[in-house]
């Protein structure tokens, strides 16, 4: 209703009534007289509209605080409070407002208008400005915001325009990336160098480092001819061999291994390895064979340093050394194909080469080296195809196996361990891989392969055999002597059968059909172990030494095969080896950059997950915005400043704090599940790369930096849709920064969870954790109640409470001239006016999560 102006006659009459009222209040009237006077006031003018209402003076003079409209009050008739009508009372109790209940009663300035200091004018908010309820001056709208005349809030549009531009650019980048990928698949490799360039160059790298002793072994003539044929007929094979020949120098010592009484007992009473002794010369090629549960994988893991032996000793080049220190010089090809499915064949191998080859290699040379390697392992035709996974295969299983082998060969190791490298390969591919392994062995690389029932040609390609049964040695020596050795024990090996199959039958205890000696009918495996141990205890393993078998009483003497003896390196060679290890591997910045680049590529290739996360962020922001849309930006209402506190409606401390609470929980739901996959999907990849000398910190930092663009985009979508609908008083840049840091914190928390739980459990637990830190936001229960419990420190450890405090503080501070914020702060428990501290604490907690995640990454044991 309109606020009436007073004429002079009414003013004079009101002054008289005021004086009479004053006299009435100061006189010693009886109750009857007081009642009579009050009844007379019902029909008199007191300044209140309700009959019988007695006004309460709010000030001694014409005082009108900022944000109020006081059109009629004067120094003689100061602002006053009149008891409200029932409808007005209900409105105020329900956080609403009503027209003034008296002529001199002030009223808060209406939304869409502002009342300059003094409160005598109420001016319409001009276009380009907005005026929330209680404005004493208009708020200037942000550039490009929608602000018509009489606006009580602004609708920001520039961030929305930026969002659309980003989405368009992102769509174009993805489309161009796929177009380039399709084009690369259609063209031939352009990185392959001219063969003559690398034939004539003395040393294209300038790396006069590395290794090793001349190989000492007898090789099957057929395989030697095949290797020589490959070198002469395949130019890429020759290029690859020249590349690694520049890196592996035959004038220096390589890696040889000697082990004595090796044991591994993970828990009392369960021995997996028992007193295994032997030596592996540098530049030799060994096959480790045995039945299931014989201890093959455990033996190789202990020899590599991946598993700590519980007994015995290991020597490297004749010296007691910690094998883990040689991880940069050792390659390991696991039985399972641990490769990144989002990358192409070439990208997987190229990344391995870039982070593990010496930092002095130029990228052009690395590209050429990788191209020649890809050609050698027969993957040129699929080098630009994605690897895929078991659920969505792109290349065949055999090709995936070759990619896994190629990743290790790309590092040019001095010793390479392979677990079932030919499983899943056809005969041609298996032969090609074995010829490549033979070729690099000729350059001095020590090759140890776990293999199960190989083809005869592949079996004869190994220099030596290491046979295990029940965790102990059954035979260790030249492959060519294995048949003779078992023949001395009374086993007759068929001439036209694959000797590998026959030997496997014998060492697994199923060789009765190959012998007539009844001594092997009972516990044959244990007797084979004892036979080898007994023979090994005699002499120096010279080839001319003859010993009778323990279980054979005949006078005939049978030969015992010779056992290779490792070379003891000189101090000078050890120094060179140490320098070699220092030079291996890209620099820390380079490794970090390549991990960052690889992770960005993965995210782009996983476009469905990427766009789904962004869409969920936008949807969550929109839903939170809709929940606050009806408030029209009026998300807080408190007690008015003195002396107008009596005019206050019911306070609303909940709306703005709930927006902060719901915003934090929405961010947690949108970000936690995708964030846990940052590391949860790559535990095996990390374990493989770390075991090969990849810097853990470079890997971790690269992965963390790679998700920052994703966090920014998700936060931008969330903030834009929330800001457009909720239109809070805080600036968009402040809201976006708070949301961004909270995304940052949730990603850090989810990373911690991803480090310690199984991949399938990670998303659910991450969502639960994000909800927990959201509940600790200081809203329910309120932080003021938490302080009474003396648990504020616990709540302050959660980023949710700092995030909610930002929202509450930045939305009430613009109206601090109107409301009693100290009372609101006491009731809510939040501290207003510390935006920088709140933001710093969210960032600090998010960073702490990341430090904890890194510690968990490098310390928590994982199933290999």
Q: Provide the pLDDT for residue 537.
A: 61
Q: In this structure, are 531 and 616 located in the same domain?
A: no
Weakest-pLDDT range from 203-207, 301-305, 709-713, 817-821: 203-207
Q: What is the CA radius of gyration of the chain?
A: 41
**Helix or strand run (H / E) with residue 124:** strand 123-124
Q: In this structure, are 818 and 769 located in the same domain?
A: yes
**DSSP classification of residue 693:** T
Cα–Cα distance list, 604 to 178, 182, 251, 654, 710 (Å): 10, 15, 46, 41, 10
Q: Provide the pLDDT for residue 256.
A: 86
Weakest-pLDDT range from 15-24, 129-138, 732-741: 15-24
161, pLDDT greater than 50: yes
User: Does 99 or 565 have the greater pLDDT score?
Assistant: 99
User: Does 569 or 451 have the greater pLDDT score?
Assistant: 451
Q: Flag whether 140 is in a domain.
A: no
Q: Provide the pLDDT for residue 711.
A: 94
Q: In this structure, are 711 and 608 located in the same domain?
A: yes
Phi-psi region of 619 (alpha: psi -120 to 50; beta: other; left: phi over 0): alpha
Q: In this structure, are 463 and 555 located in the same domain?
A: yes
Q: Provide the pLDDT for residue 566.
A: 52
Question: Residue 541's pLDDT band (boundaries 50, 70, 90)?
Answer: very low
Task: Report the length, in residues, of the chain.
Answer: 864
Give pLDDT tens digits for 808-854.
Answer: 999 999 999 999 999 999 999 999 999 999 999 999 999 999 999 99
Geometric angle at alpha carbon 550, from 549 and 552, rounded to 5° = 65
Cα–Cα distance list, 43 to 14, 17, 87, 88, 215 (Å): 13, 11, 22, 22, 121
556, pLDDT greater than 70: no
Q: Which token pair is 785?
A: 């109640």
Q: Flag whether 389 is in a domain.
A: yes
CA distance 502 to 520: 15
Q: Provide the pLDDT for residue 569.
A: 66
Q: In this structure, are 553 and 646 located in the same domain?
A: no
Q: In this structure, are 512 and 621 located in the same domain?
A: no
Instruction: Characterize the bridge pairing of strands 123-124 and 113-114.
Output: antiparallel
Q: In this structure, are 853 and 766 located in the same domain?
A: yes
User: Does 578 or 716 have the greater pLDDT score?
Assistant: 716
Q: Considering only CA atoms, which of 674, 776, 670, 651 is closest in space to residue 722? A: 670
Q: Flag whether 115 is in a domain.
A: no
Check: CB of residue 415 under 8 Å from CB of residue 446.
yes
Q: Flag whether 135 is in a domain.
A: no
Give pLDDT tens digits for 745-760.
Answer: 999 999 999 988 888 8
Q: Flag whether 673 is in a domain.
A: yes
Q: Flag whether 728 is in a domain.
A: yes
726, pLDDT greater than 60: yes
Q: In this structure, are 763 and 803 located in the same domain?
A: yes
Q: Which token pair is 837?
A: 């501290």
741, pLDDT greater than 80: yes
3, pLDDT greater than 50: no
21, pLDDT greater than 80: no
Weakest-pLDDT range from 242-246, 333-337, 359-363: 242-246
Question: Residue 6's pLDDT band (boundaries 50, 70, 90)?
Answer: very low
CA distance 789 to 797: 16
With pLDDT > 90 as the criterion, what percentage of the chain qualifies? 37
Give pLDDT tens digits for 682-713.
Answer: 888 888 888 888 889 999 999 999 999 999 99
804, pLDDT greater than 90: yes
Domain hosting residue 103, numbered range: 8-108
Q: In this structure, are 623 and 680 located in the same domain?
A: yes
Q: In this structure, are 719 and 835 located in the same domain?
A: yes
Alpha helix ranges (H) inside 637-707: 654-680, 683-691, 696-706
Q: Provide the pLDDT for residue 813.
A: 94
Q: Provide the pLDDT for residue 2.
A: 43
Question: Residue 465's pLDDT band (boundaries 50, 70, 90)?
Answer: very high
Q: Flag whether 596 is in a domain.
A: yes
> DSSP characters for 333-348?
E-SS----TTSBHHHH
Question: Residue 426's pLDDT band (boundaries 50, 70, 90)?
Answer: confident
Geometric angle at alpha carbon 739, from 737 and 745, rounded to 5° = 105
| pTM as predicted | 0.81
Q: Flag whether 116 is in a domain.
A: no
The domain boundary, picked from 86, 108, 130, lies at 108
Weakest-pLDDT range from 90-99, 250-259, 665-674: 250-259
Q: Provide the pLDDT for residue 407.
A: 92
Contacts of 673 (CB under 8 A, 6+ apart): 750, 763, 766, 767
Q: In this structure, are 308 and 356 located in the same domain?
A: yes
Give pLDDT tens digits for 496-526.
Answer: 888 888 889 888 888 888 887 777 878 888 8
Q: Provide the pLDDT for residue 571.
A: 74
Q: Which token pair is 75?
A: 């120094």
Instruction: Please give the average per-residue pLDDT across 263-278, as a whole number.
Output: 86
Q: Provide the pLDDT for residue 201.
A: 41
Choose from 48-52, 193-197, 346-350 the range with maximum mean pLDDT: 346-350
Q: What is the CATH number of the domain that holds 279?
A: 3.40.50.300
CB crowding 359-369: b at 16 or more within 10 Å, else e: bebeeebbbbb
The mean predicted confidence, pLDDT, of the chain is 81
Q: Work out how many domains the chain is built from and give that number.
A: 3
583, pLDDT greater than 50: yes
Instruction: Characterize the bridge pairing of strands 113-114 and 446-450.
Output: unpaired
Check: CB of residue 449 under 8 Å from CB of residue 437.
yes
Phi-psi region of 585 (alpha: psi -120 to 50; beta: other; left: phi over 0): left
Q: Provide the pLDDT for residue 185.
A: 64
Q: In this structure, are 269 and 387 located in the same domain?
A: yes
Greatest alpha-carbon pair distance for the chain in Å reads 147
């Amino acid at each position: 209703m309109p606020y009436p102006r007073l004429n002079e006659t009414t003013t004079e009459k009101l002054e008289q009534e005021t004086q009479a009222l004053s006299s009435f209040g100061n006189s010693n009237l009886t109750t009857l007289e007081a009642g009579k006077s009050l009844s007379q006031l019902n029909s008199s003018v007191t300044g209140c509209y309700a009959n019988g209402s007695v006004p309460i003076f709010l000030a001694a003079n014409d005082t009108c605080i900022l944000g109020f409209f006081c059109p009629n009050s004067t120094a003689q008739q100061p602002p006053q409070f009149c008891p409200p009508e029932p409808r007005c009372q209900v409105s105020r109790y329900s956080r609403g407002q009503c027209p003034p209940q008296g002529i001199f009663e002030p009223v808060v300035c209406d939304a869409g208008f502002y009342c300059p200091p003094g409160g005598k004018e109420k001016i319409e908010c001009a276009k380009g400005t907005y005026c929330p309820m209680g404005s004493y001056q208009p708020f200037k709208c942000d550039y490009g915001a929608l602000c018509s005349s009489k606006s009580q809030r602004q609708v920001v549009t520039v961030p929305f325009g930026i969002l659309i531009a980003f989405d368009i650019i992102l769509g174009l980048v993805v489309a161009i990336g796929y177009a380039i990928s399709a084009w690369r698949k259609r063209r031939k490799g352009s990185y392959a160098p001219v063969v003559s360039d690398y034939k004539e160059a003395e040393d294209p790298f300038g790396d006069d480092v590395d290794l090793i002793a001349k190989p000492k072994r007898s090789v099957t003539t057929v395989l030697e001819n095949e290797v020589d044929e490959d070198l002469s007929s395949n130019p890429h094979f020759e290029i690859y061999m020249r590349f690694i020949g520049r890196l592996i120098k035959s004038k220096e010592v390589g890696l040889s291994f000697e082990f004595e009484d090796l044991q591994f007992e993970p828990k009392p009473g369960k021995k997996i390895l028992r007193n295994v002794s032997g030596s592996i010369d540098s530049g030799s090629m060994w096959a480790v064979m045995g039945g299931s549960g014989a201890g093959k994988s455990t033996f190789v893991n202990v020899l590599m340093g991946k598993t700590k032996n519980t007994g015995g000793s290991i020597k490297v080049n004749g010296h007691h050394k910690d094998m883990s220190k040689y991880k940069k010089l050792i390659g390991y090809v696991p039985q399972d194909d641990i490769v990144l499915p989002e990358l192409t064949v070439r990208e997987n191998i190229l990344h391995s080469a870039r982070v593990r080859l010496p930092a002095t290699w130029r990228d052009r040379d690395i590209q050429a080296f990788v191209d020649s390697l890809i050609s050698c392992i027969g993957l040129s035709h699929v080098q630009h195809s994605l690897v895929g996974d078991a659920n969505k295969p792109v290349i065949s299983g055999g090709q995936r196996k070759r990619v896994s082998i190629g990743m290790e060969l790309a590092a040019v190791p001095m010793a390479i361990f392979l677990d079932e490298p030919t499983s899943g390969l056809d005969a041609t591919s298996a032969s090609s891989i074995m010829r490549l392994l033979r070729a690099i062995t000729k350059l001095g690389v020590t090759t140890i392969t776990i293999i199960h029932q190989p083809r005869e040609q592949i079996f004869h390609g190994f220099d030596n055999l290491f046979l295990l049964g029940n965790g102990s040695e059954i035979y260790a020596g030249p492959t060519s002597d294995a048949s003779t050795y078992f023949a001395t024990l009374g086993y007759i090996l068929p001439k036209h059968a694959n000797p590998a199959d026959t030997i496997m039958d014998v060492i697994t205890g199923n060789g009765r059909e190959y012998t007539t000696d009844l001594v092997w009918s009972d516990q044959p495996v244990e007797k084979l172990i004892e036979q080898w141990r007994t023979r090994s205890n005699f002499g120096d393993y010279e080839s001319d030494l003859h010993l009778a078998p323990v279980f054979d009483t005949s006078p005939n003497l049978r030969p015992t095969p010779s056992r290779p003896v490792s070379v003891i390196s000189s101090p000078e060679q050890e120094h060179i080896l140490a320098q070699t290890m220092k030079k291996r591997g890209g620099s820390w910045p380079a490794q970090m950059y390549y991990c960052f680049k690889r992770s960005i590529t993965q995210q782009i290739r996983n476009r469905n997950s990427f766009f789904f996360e962004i869409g969920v962020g936008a949807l969550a922001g929109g839903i939170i915005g809709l929940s606050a849309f009806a408030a029209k930006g009026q998300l807080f209402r408190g007690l008015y400043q003195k002396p107008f506190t009596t005019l206050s409606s019911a306070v609303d401390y909940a709306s703005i704090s709930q927006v902060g609470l719901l915003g934090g929980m929405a961010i947690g739901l949108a970000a936690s599940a995708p964030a846990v996959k940052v590391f949860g999907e790559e535990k095996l990849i990390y374990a493989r790369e770390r075991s090969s000398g990849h810097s853990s910190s470079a890997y971790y930092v690269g992965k963390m930096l790679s998700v920052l663009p994703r966090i920014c985009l998700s936060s931008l979508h969330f903030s834009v849709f929330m800001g457009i609908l909720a239109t809070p008083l805080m600036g968009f840049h402040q809201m976006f920064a708070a949301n961004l840091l909270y995304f940052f914190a949730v990603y850090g928390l989810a990373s911690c969870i991803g480090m310690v739980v199984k991949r399938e459990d990670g998303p659910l637990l991450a969502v639960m954790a994000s909800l927990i830190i959201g509940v600790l936001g200081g809203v329910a229960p309120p932080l003021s109640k938490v302080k009474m419990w003396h648990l504020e420190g616990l709540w302050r450890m959660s980023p949710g409470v700092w995030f909610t405090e930002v929202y509450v503080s930045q939305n009430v501070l613009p109206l601090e001239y109107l409301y009693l914020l100290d009372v609101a702060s006491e009731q809510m428990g939040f501290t207003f006016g510390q935006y920088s501290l709140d933001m710093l604490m969210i960032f600090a907690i998010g960073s702490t999560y990341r430090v904890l995640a890194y510690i968990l990454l490098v310390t928590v044991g994982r199933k290999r």
